Each structure stands twice: as C-alpha cells, then as structure tokens.
Amino acid sequence: MNGLKYQKSIPARFSAAAPTYDHYAEAQEWAACRTMEAAEIVSVPARILEIGCGTGLLTGKLADAYPAASIEAVDIAPGMIEHARKSLQDKQNLSWTIGDICKVILPGPFELAISSSSFQWVSPLGKAFTRIRESLASGGYLVFSMMLKETLHELQESRMRTAPQKPVLHKLPTRGDVLGWLDCAGYELVTHDVVDFRVEYDSAWGFLKSINKQGVTAGSVSFSQSLLNRVQLKRLAIDYDDYYSAGGGKVYATYEVLTAVAEKRH
Ligand SMILES: C[S@@+](CC[C@H](N)C(=O)[O-])C[C@H]1O[C@@H](n2cnc3c(N)ncnc32)[C@H](O)[C@@H]1O
C-alpha cells in the first residue's frame, strides 16, 4: 500500500496474527453478524464468494447458514487461510484460494459475494469491486461490512498529540468514497448504514496489544514515516488512558462500520 521499508506487508502481518486474531476480534465478530443479517435479503444462494476470509470468522457462519451452497473463500494471507482451513475442516462445502482479490481468477458466477472487515485493506478497492462484479451472476449481490475513516480515531488523535512529528499518512476511505466506487463499478445500492461500534479495553496498553494481535498495528490506521519508539509509545499510552477513559480503569476505541448491500446493475 505504501512501500515503507520497515512495515510488514499485509499478507505477512495477517499471517503472523492468525493464531491470536480470533481472541481479540470483538469488533470483527460484531461486523460478521451484521453482514450475515444483511445477507438475508438474498434468497438462498447456490454459489458464494467470500473476500478476505481471514481465520474464517464469517466463513463458518456462511457454511452453517447455507449448507447446500458451495463457498469459495479468498484471502491474500497464506497463514490466515491455513488457520481457517484447519478450524473449519469439518465443513464440506468450502474451497480456499490464496491471492489478492484484485488479481486471482474467480470461477463464478456467484449469486452472492460477501466480505466482512476486509475491504478497508484492499487497494484499489474500486478495481476489486469491478472484478467481483464480473464474477457475479445476473442479479447477483455484493454484501459487506468494512471499517471507515473514523475507525480508531482516538488512536490517531492521541498520536497527533504525543508524536506530531510522525503523523498518520494513510487514511481509510469515507462512506462517500465507497459508495462512489460501487456506483462506478456498476452496482445499484440496495441498502446501507454506518454504525459507530465502541469496544472497551482494560487499559491503553491492552488496547495497543489487542490491535497488534489482530494484525492492525502499523496498518492503515497508523501509517507514518516511522514507527513510534518506546518513549513515544509510553507517552501515547498515558495520553490515551487520560483522554479515552470508559470508567473503572478501562478505555474505549471506536470502529466506524459501513454495512452495505449492492446489486449487480444490468
Ligand atoms: C481484518 S481481517 C478480516 C477477516 C475476516 N473476514 C473476519 O471477519 O474476521 C482482513 C483480511 O483481509 C485479507 N486481505 C487484505 N487484503 C486483501 C486482498 N487484496 N485480497 C484478499 N484478501 C485480503 C487479510 O489477509 C485479512 O485476512
């Protein structure tokens, strides 16, 4: 996404986070449930494409909800796919592809393409929308949840106060960006909403550890010219505890989550 040398690539970062991801993925679990609810608009699909399956959080729900469907799960991180494959080995209707959704060959046609908590990592997202559309059957749907620009804004603000010389460079897309890309890629928006989902953590250090274990650290929410050093991290943790207290020693962080249903335009 931005070629800075010290940063691990997206596949490397998520592969490394695979063993710890599920334990810390509270916001993603919530988003996966919302995505499943949104998908109820689609009458039982026979072929499903899942984009950015990760450890299989959404994949397992899909396999249970649509036991007769064949589900193609794609992810760019080999470690994530390996983890998902192992934990869902009892499900018969899953096949797995390692690769970038902007590049892999998608068999199709799918009645449903679905994704949860992944599109914020995909770049360029407009191109991915076009490729997914090409793999959809006539009248097929794209249903997804993804994190938007205000996600973890508390962390970005705290970082600006404590290390202003290392500002965040990369920002997640806005609702307007995403809806515009959908339109350009040839979808009709059926429904969408944006919800601020708040998660509480035991402390700022607990929060920082949690996002690290989810593979988020140094990602789009914290892209900068250089990583924070230990002293700066310590300052940030004190600032965060101070500004974003949820009471009882806890802190909070907000995830701005877009859930959308879009239909392939004729
Ligand atoms: C935060 S995880 C979400 C995983 C899962 N959907 C969930 O709800 O927990 C994001 C996933 O998107 C994958 N990903 C990022 N960019 C991708 C791309 N261009 N193509 C396919 N997968 C991608 C990552 O490897 C990672 O496993």
Is residue 142 a contact partner of residue 187, using CB atoms and an 8 Å limit?
Answer: yes
Give nearest CA residue, ligand 1 atom 10.
Answer: 118
Atom nearest to 32 CA in ligand 1: 8
| Dist. CA 170 → ligand 1 center (Å) | 18
Please tell me the distance between residue 154's alpha carbon and the centre of ligand 1 in angstroms: 23
Tell me which residue has its CA closest to atom 13 in ligand 1. Answer: 52
Contact 175, 258 (CB under 8 A): yes
Q: Report phi then psi at 250, rounded to 5.
A: -90, 165
Lowest mean pLDDT among 66-70, 114-118, 121-125, 221-225: 221-225
Helix, strand, or coil (residue 106): coil
Q: Is the CB of 116 under 6 A from ligand 1?
A: yes
- CA atoms of 150 and 218, how far apart (whole Å): 16
Q: What percent of the chain has pLDDT over 70?
A: 92
Q: Which residue has the higher pLDDT, 13 or 261?
A: 261
Give 10 or 33, the one with higher predicted confidence. Answer: 33
Q: Which CATH class is domain 10-264?
A: alpha beta
Phi-psi region of 168 (alpha: psi -120 to 50; beta: other; left: phi over 0): beta
Mean model confidence pLDDT for the chain: 91
- How far is it, in rounded angstroms, from Cα 11 to Cα 156? 23
For CA atoms 185, 190, 194, 199, give the dihedral sign: negative
Q: Give 6 or 75, the one with higher predicted confidence.
A: 75
Say which range, 5-9, 132-136, 193-197, 227-231, has the weakest mean pLDDT.
Answer: 5-9
Q: Which atom of ligand 1 is nearest to the CA of 25?
A: 9
DSSP state of 120: G
Q: 259: Cβ below 6 Å to ligand 1?
A: no
